Amino acid sequence: MDDVSFRRLHRSMLLARRIDEEAIALQRQGVLPAYAPAKGQEAAQVGSAAALDLTRDFAFPTYRELGVAVAMDVDLVAYLSTHLNIWHGGMYDSQAARLAPFNAVVGGPVTHAVGWAMGAKLDETGGAAITYFGDGASSQGDVHEAMNFAGVYRLPVVFFCQNNGWAISVPTTQQVAGGSVAARAAGYGLEGVRVDGNDVEAVFEATRAALDRARDGGGATVIEAMTYRLGPHSTSDDPGRYRSLADERAWSERDPIARAARRLPEVEVAEAERHADEVVEQVRKGLLELTPRPAEELFSFVYREPTTALLEQQRVWKESLDV
């Protein structure tokens, strides 16, 4: 990877970390109802998303892919508006951004990505889908069905598992038989790759190769990025109840951002820090300025054509306002 590209990856990772820290602070201040931190997983997220071709590919995130949104240059105020609880799925244009609304259903985005990939294959668009999920979600039945479907139809999709060691409070060793998500790929006729999820360049290269293969008709790939969630599962979680401080410290020494920064001159790292500070201030200001959406939008965009039941609910709601 050339120096310019690597600097861009480091800059995105650093920005994702700073926005993540600000989101936690906003939740503690009562601005955000809840938040799922991504600290420690920036290389896996940024490195994989940076490999996408945004003219034809599409990404399907969970609720923890802030680094993906940053790497894809999504409007971060619009993205984080979902956490502010004033709009479901974010206020950005998903079609234009090539990033689906984030999904809080465990394993939920995996089936959506496979459906999109089937459409892309039938339409011959030449694009590929990437879907994100965790090691815990890999045990969901939907994920296995999606992989089997992708294998049977040789669909252009990359299954990107961020194995951060914990399914909330359950270690991977207790919920992934065999200990490897990537190894499961063989059972569905897919390629399986395990990569150092804290090495942003390695993640980028592995994902780019998988996307190229998918677009060329070679079928799906399961990528297992081995990383670690340095923070809690969510702002309502206390990781100290189920893992040791020594383990956290050991993984902190493998921090993906510090690791990338060692390849760069100090002046470039300092400039990236200044840029991140500026963006964080803009995002914070933008979030605080958002106001609730019109209440009637509760009934908008649910279906392309509103159903009889939905129209009846809307009528009852309007009548309740007049009481």
Residue 319: Cβ-neighbour burial (10 angstroms; 0-12, 13-18, 19+): exposed
Q: What's the half-sphere exposure (Cβ side, CA atoms, 13 Å) at 96?
A: 6
Q: Which residues are catalytic?
A: 229, 233, 242
DSSP per-residue letters across 110-164: HHHHHHHHHHHHHHT----EEEEEETTGGGSHHHHHHHHHHHHHT-SEEEEEEE-
Task: Report the DSSP beta bridge partners of residue 88.
Answer: none
Q: Is 168 left (phi over 0), alpha (psi -120 to 50) or beta?
A: left
Contact assessment for residue 82 and residue 101, using Cβ atoms and an 8 Å cutoff: yes
Nearest residue to 70 (alpha-carbon basis) of 89, 52, 95, 88: 52
- Alpha carbon distance 18, 23 (integer Å): 9
- Alpha carbon distance 301, 203 (integer Å): 36
Q: Is 89 left (phi over 0), alpha (psi -120 to 50) or beta?
A: left
Contact assessment for residue 208 and residue 130, using Cβ atoms and an 8 Å cutoff: no
Contact assessment for residue 7 and residue 24, using Cβ atoms and an 8 Å cutoff: no
- Alpha carbon distance 27, 32 (integer Å): 4
Residue tagged 């069905």 (tokens): 145
- Alpha carbon distance 105, 117 (integer Å): 20
